[in-house]
Each structure stands twice: as C-alpha cells, then as structure tokens.
Structure 1
Amino acid sequence: MLNKLSLWQRIAIPVLAMTLGLIIVSSMLVGHYYERSSQAQGMARSAQAIQAISRIIHQIQKERATSVLFMNGANTKDELKAQRDVVDQELLFLTSRKAELLNSTLQNQIDNLSGTHQAIRAQVDAKSGAAAEAAKAIGILVDHWIKAQASCANEFHLDGLESTLLSISIFEKSKESMGRMRALLNAVLSANQPISAATVSLLATHKSGVLSNMESPGLTISHTSHQDIDKLLAAEDWLSVLSTYNRVVEKSGKGDYGVDAKQFSATITRVIDSVRGVIDPEITMTSASIHNAAAAAQRNFILCVATVFSLIVVSMLISVYITRAINAALKAVAELLSHGADAVAKIAVQVAMASQNLASSATEQASALQETTAAVEETKSMIKKNAENSSKSATLSQQSYETALKGKEAIIDMTGSIDGIAHSNAEIMAQNEVTNKELMDIVRVIREIEGKTKVINDIVFQTRLLSFNASVEAARAGEQGKGFAVVAEEVGNLAQMSGTSAREIQILLDNSVRLVDTIVTNTRQKMNSLSQVGKEKIEAGIVTAERCGDILQQIVANVAIVGQMTNEISSACHEQSEGITEINNAMTEMDTVAHQNSAACEQTSVAAEELKTHAGKLLSMVQQLEQVIHGSVQNPVQPVKIAARNVQVEDDEWDQAA
C-alpha cells in the first residue's frame, strides 16, 4: 500500500494528520470561546432587561401605595395619574426593546402583565372593592414581574454572574415585602380602626419577608452592598417604620394609632428608595463585570481563530515547501533518465526497423529473381507468336479498312433520313398552331354570347324594377289598380324567371369558356412537349450519326497506322532475343548480392535484440524512480516492444531462385 503512494503523499499525509488534530483541538477551543462570548452577550442583554424590570417594579410599588391612598381618600386623582405616567414611561422603554432583550416567552408574559395591570387600574379608578384587595392584586402583579426578572437571570450562565443577577430578584422580593407592608399600613393608618388578628399576622409576614430576604445567605453581592444593607437596617427611617409597625400591633384591638398615614408613607417610601439605591449600583457593577467578561471572551475567540488559522497556513506552507524541494530534484533526475531511455528505445526501434526492411528487401529480391526467370521463358515464346500475329494483323487491317468505308456511306444515308423526320415534325407543329387558333375563335364567340347574356340580365333587372313601380302605383290606385297590380306581379315573375335562365346560361357559358381554355392549354402543352422531345431526339440522332461518321473516319486512319506498326513489331522481336541474354547475366550477379544481404540481416537482428534488452532495463529503472516520486503511476512508461525478427533465407530457397 505504501509503495502506491507518491513521495509528496508520504510527506503530506503525516503533516495533514497533525494539522487535522490541531484543527480538531482548536475547533473545540473556538467553540468554547464562542459559547462564552454568546453567553456573555446574552447575559448583558439580560442585565439590561433586569434593570428595566427593576425600575418598573419600583414604580409599580409606588403606584400601589398611591392607589391605596387614593381609594381611602388620602390622595387626589392627579397624584395617582402622575405616578401612573412614571410607570407607563418605564413600561414603554422595556416594550420598545423587548424583541432585542427578551425571548419570545418573556415577551408574551410581559404583554399579559401589561393587560392585567390595565384591568387593575380600571378597578382602582372605579373604587370597586376595598383598598386592600387592590393592593393584593397589584402585589400579585409585582410577584409575576419578579418571576420574569428571575427567568431573565437564569437564561444565561457565565462565571457565576447569574447568581448576582438572581440576588437582584431577592432584593426585589425584599422590597416587595416592604411595599406590601407600606400598602397595608397605609390602609390601616388611613382607616385608623381596629384590625383583625389576620391583618396583624399578614403585617408580621411582610416584615419577616423584608428581613429574611435582606439577610439571606443566598445573596451574592459585593461587600459594599452588604455594608449599605446594614446601614439601611440601622437608619432612622427604618427604625421609624418598625416603631409604627409595633404601635399598630400593640393597638390593633383599639385603633386610634396616632400616626399620620401620608407621613408614614413618605418615610417607608424613603426606605424603599434606599433599597433601590442598593439594587442599582449592584446591577451596574454586575453589568460592568458581564461586559468585561464578554470583551474577554470575544478577544479570546478572535485570538484563538487567528492562531488556528496561522498554524494551519504555516504547516501547509512548510509541507508544500519541503515536498516541492525534494520532488523537484528527483523529478529532474527522472526526466533526464526518461529522455535517455526514450532515445535508446527509439534507436533500437530504428535499428529493428532497418533490419526488417533489409530482410524484407532480400526476400522480395529473391522472389523477383524467380519471377524474372519465368518471365524470360515466357518472353521467348511470345516473340514467336508476335511474328505470326504480325502477318495476320496486316491482312485483318486491310479488311477492316474496307468495312469502315462501307459504314461511312451508311451513316451518310441515315443522316439524310433524320433530316426528313425533322422537317415532318416542323409541319406537325405548324398544324397544331392552326388548331389552337380555331379553338380560340370558339372561345371568342362564347365570350360574345356571355356579353349578350349580361345585357339580358340588365333588361330583367329593369323589368323587375318597372314591375315593382307598377305594383306601387296600383296600390296607390286602390280598387281600380288591382287588375294592373296582378299584371305587374306576373311581369315581375316572368322577369325573375328570365333572370334565372340568364344566370344559368351565364354559368354554362363560363364553364364552357373554362373548359375550352383548359383543353387549348393542355393540348398546346402536350403538343409542345411531344414536339420538343421529338426535336431533341432528332437532334441527338443527327449528332450521333455525325459522331459515327467521325469514328469510322478515325478507324480508317488507325487501320493504316496498325499496318505500319506490324512491321515495326517484327523488328522489335529480333531485339528482344538479344536482351534476354543480358538479363541472364544480371540475374547471376543479383544472386551473389542477395546472399551477402542475408548475412548482414542476421548480424543486425542480434544487435537490435541486445539494444532492446538494455533499453527495457533502463525504462524499468525510470519507472521505479517515478513510482517513488509520484506513487502509483496511472500511465507508466511502457518499454518499447521491438518487433525485430531474424530474417533467414534457406540455401535451398536461393538455389531455387537461381
């Protein structure tokens, strides 16, 4: 198998195998960095969406507090509308970029949340139900927004940054618990009435939600954010909120809490804003970390791709350079050897062909000698026959001369007869023309009748017109004109019958004219054709007769020449007998030369065989070298097959030829 591979392939296959391994490993690295880059870019979009949702949640929580105060009569419609405008502005920002920042599921979820929000607003505007129910509905809406925020945080993963985004959702839950606490306390303080144990329990749940989420061990935030949370929980506003909470719990059975609802709402709103102040910087820092990770992943991806491409190009260039250098040197040697082998093979072929030609010439020469001997014997007998035939030819020549003279006279008579036939043919043509003229006279008479018939048609038309006019006048005359009308009608009928007969006569005349024209035309064409054919045959006969006369005249001249040549043949026979003696002498010399050519053919054949053997060995070496360079050769150089043969002429063949 290895012997079938070229030198280039033997070098290229290991290099390609290493390059392929490098490509596989590099592809894995490229895929890894590409995945990191994709996750980083997706997480960056998620961070933007989380930040936008956080702002929306914050403003919805404010809207909830404002709605509760509105339904309890502590706020005006304008204050509620102002807060709603802020929420709508934040929603507009997110919905305008939702196709860019969110997947299709979250887009549908946000659309549904927007519809639910509008329905809750309609209930608040109508003040249908208690303020607590509206606060609860808005709380459920906020929970769904927080879940959407958590879904965004869990969509992409990169170096644990997704846990930081999830911590934002935990903050939002804490802030939501604080917002529900604000809404419930606003309602309680606005009503300033005793509350049930369930309401107290609900307030405790909200307070516990705030503290548990704030101090959750699952929070993955910066040290600065932890310090900010500690400061927030120790701040005067939060302590004031806790004090109000404790007062409401203590006086839950009596009411009359002694706390202004709007003042409390402003205080707890500041606390919520402080929580918001922790969330925003955390989102900003997380976004910066995500962008840095995305930039690093992009740089690593580009660097990896460039490195892989560079290594592949360098390895290919090195393998091509080495292979070409070795292959060029060996190819030059192979070409030199191949040219030398071709030259030797061509010389061997030429020598073999020369040997074959020489052997063939010797064989043909021996055969020619044998044929020449037989021809000499035949020539002797033919000379005798020529002498006898020459005397007979003289007699026959005289007889042929007399016969040719008689044939010439017969040809002259035949030419006169043909001239008579031509004259008769001309008379037939003249009579045919006379007949055609008579037929044309008949046609002219028929056409005159046709003209008269047209006159009759005109008379019929006028008669019918007069009959019609008479009928009209009879109708005008009334009873007195009835008899005249009958006569006019009969006249019209007769005129119609006359017109019909005239048309029938017209049709018959037209048919007669066409028939006569057809007969005249056909007769003229046939007669002209027959006359032309007869004329051509007569002219051909005249030409043939003249040619016969010329030929007979030439025969007469040739017979005289034959007589003269017969005498010359007799003289030539004597000269031929002398030439036979010279031919016998030449044959003796040719026999000696043929034996010498036979010996030379044998020596040349032996030399050609040896040269062919050496050429085959040289070509075999060239093939082996080319196989090393190119591998399995598709069209290997074939050794030249020299069809040399030893031409041997047996002694008995030469004896027979002699």
Structure 2
Amino acid sequence: MLKKLSIKQKMIYWNALVVIVFAVTLVYLGADSLDEMLHEKKIQIKNLTESVAGIINSYIKLEKEGKLTHEEAYNSIKTAIYAARYDGDNYFFVGDLEMHQVINPKRPKDDGVVQTLPQYKQFVEIASRNKGGDYLSYKTTRAGSKEEFPKLTYLIPIPEWKWYVGTGIYIDDIEKQRNKIIVIDSLITIFICIFLMGGGIFLANFISKPLAFLVKELKTSSHTMEDKSNNLTTLSKNVGSSSKEQASSIQETAAAIAEVTSMIARTSALTQNSENLSSIINKQIDMGNHTVQKMVTAMASIQEASQKLSEIEHIIIKIEEKAKVINDIVNKTELLSLNASIESARAGEYGKGFAVVAEEVGNLAKSSGKSSDEIRDLLEQSRSNVKSILELTVARVAEGQNTTEEVSKIFTEIVHDINEIHIQLTQVTEATKEQEIGVKQISQAMNKIDQSAINNLKSAEESIISSHQILDISIDLKKIATATESIVFGEKIA
C-alpha cells in the first residue's frame, strides 16, 4: 500500500499521523493534568495555610510575652489575613470551636456570627482532634451565585485561642485552568498541523522535483551504460577468443621448441661425453705410448743385461782358466807331497814329522783338487746355462724390440687420429652449444610471448568480468532509478 504512494503523499500522511498522535497525547495529558494540578493545589494551600498559621502563632506568642494585648494581637492577625491573598482572589478564613466565623475577608459582616452550614461542623471536628492540619472536600455556593460547586479546604488548628485557620479552592477553577491550557495547546496543535502540512508539502516538492530530474538522468545513464557494457562484453569476448587461439598456437610452438631444445641439449651432452671420452682415451693412449717407450727402454736395458751376461760368460771362462791353474798347482802339490813323503822315508826317524806334514799337504792337495774339479764342473754348467740364457734372451729381446717399435708406431698413429677426432669433437661441441644457446633464446622469447598472450587472455577475461560487473552496475542503477522513482512518485500499477 505504502509503495503506491508518492513521497509527497507519504509526508502528508506522516504529518497527519504526527498531528493525530499529538492530539491524542494532548487529550491524555489534559485528562491527567487535572489530577496533577489538583495535587499541586493541595500542596500549595497546605503550604500557604501553614504560613498563615505561623503568622497567627507569632502574634499569640507576642501576646503571651506581654508585648501585645489580646485586642492588638487579634487586630494584627485580622489585618494580616485580610491582606493575605493568592492566585488572584483566593483568601484565608478563621473560625472557632463554637462554630463562630472569626475572620472572613469575603464576608466581614458575618464575623462573630454562628455558622450553620454543614462544613463548619466538619471544621470544628478537625480542629477539636488537634492532630495537625487536614483536608476537607465539600460543596458550597460562590459569592454572588446560588449554585453549589465542589471545594477543597485545608485546616490547621490553633489550640491556644481555640481557633482554626484554613483556605480553600474551587475545583471548577482548576478545571477552567486546565481547559484554558487545553485550548492553548489545541491552538498550538492546529498551528503545528498547518505548519507541518505546509512544510511537508513544500519539502516534498523541494525534494521530489530534483529527485525526479536525477531519476530521469539516472535512468538515461543506466541505459547508456547498459548499451556500452554490452558492446564492451562483446569486444572482450572476441579479444578473449583471439587470445585463447594465440595462446594455444604459442604453446604448441613453445612445446616444439622445448622438444628441439631438449634434443639439442641431449646431443650437446652426448657430444660433450664423446669429447670427454676422447680426452680420456687420448690420455690413456698417451699413457700407453709412455708405457711402450718405457718398454723400449726396458728392452734396451735387457739388451744391456744380455751384454752383461756375455761379460759374465767371459769371466766364467777366465775362472775356468784360473781353475786349471789351481789344478796344475794341486797336481804339483800332490807330486811335491809325494816327493816329500819319499824324502821323509829316506830320512828315517828324523823325517817322521816331515812325513806327517807331507801327508797333510797331500791331503789338502787332494781336497783342493776335488774342490777344484767341482768348481770346474759348476763353472762349466754355469757357462752352459748362461750361454743358453744369453742366446734365448738375445732372440727374445730382438723380437720384443721389433714388436715394441711396431706398437710405438701404431700408438703414434692412433694418438694423431685421436687428436684429430678430439679437435673435430671440440668444434662440434662448440657449434652445438651455440645452437643450444640460440634455441634457448628462441625458447625464452617464445615463453615471453606465451606469457604475454596469457596476460592478454587474463586481461581479456578480466575485461569480460569487468564488463559483466559494469552491466550488473547498470542494471543496479536501473533498479535504483526505478526504486527511487517509485519512492518519489509512488509505485505505478502496470
């Protein structure tokens, strides 16, 4: 229901509701204000009566002290009560326990006269109890009127002079005061109602007219933004599709280049391994060549050793010659020993000692001859062995030397070929490394292009998202414009 109302109508209805609530509150407060005002009046007349009672007691005290006569005190009290007025025309009165009216500013002619009205009996009863002040409600006539009106009175006993003093207020005076306040409040309410209605209409027009213009502009802008966002979405989708195709092609190219790079890297690694193996083989061949050279040197040493064996053979021959000389000496010694034995035998008893020496020399000569024969046999055997070893060694050395020279020549040729292969492999490795570097640079460039294409694709996707968001914003703006329009002018029935 409220959605169908314009902002002006809503403000008018709202102001009317405020006025109604204010009026109801005013009526409620007016009904409650009577009790509140009556309570305030009761407190007021009590306080005022106590003040007047205090004045009376002060004059009575002066009389007791002898400062005033009874007549002077009475006249002073009468003067004070006649002068004491409140709320315009309200007054105080004094009576005694014998139902006489002592002082009454409104009816001075009745002072000293016994009163027969029923409320005076109630006044006497309250004063006779002498328990302090008390309230009394009753009905009585007004001055100049025969109609009775409800009245509220407050009395305080004056026991020293058997008096009571009091004052009262008419309840209808309070009602008149309340009605006066209600009238004033009603006028204020009417003024506020007129002010709120007029101000509401003015404020509604002041708000709704600019809002109407803004709503119109907002709807136009939302339509324009919607069209632009649709175009942007279409363009972003086209860019995104192209970017996807470009990214796919670049990824395939990058994959092919990566595969080529991998193959070149493997070739480079294999070439490097071949180069390393070539270097290792070259080093091993160098070591073999050095070994062959050492073998040649060793063969030369063996040949020198065979020469030494020849020299040993010559020494053994010389030893055999010396052994022959020893054998000759041994033979001669034996012969000499035999001759000595013969000569000792001839000498008889004198040649026995010499015969023993000759016998021992003969034994030594035999032993030496036997050892000489053994040495000769050993030398003969050694010479034969040395000669056979020497002949075999010479033959083997000659054969080994020839073989070593051939191996040395072959190793020299292999070293030369391996060096050539090593040089070529080095060149191939350098060329492969250059190719690998070039392909890596191409791969890096393709990766950058691929990254750029991915970024373009992301940008295109973000553009699509942004265009959708702009479209959503334009739709939201359109909804806001429609909602604002319904708020300003009320919801239109389709």
TM-score, with length taken from structure 2: 0.30
More strand by share: 2
Q: RCO (CA 8 Å, sep 6+): is it higher in 1 or 2?
A: 2
More helix by share: 1
Q: Which one has the largest radius of gyration? A: 2
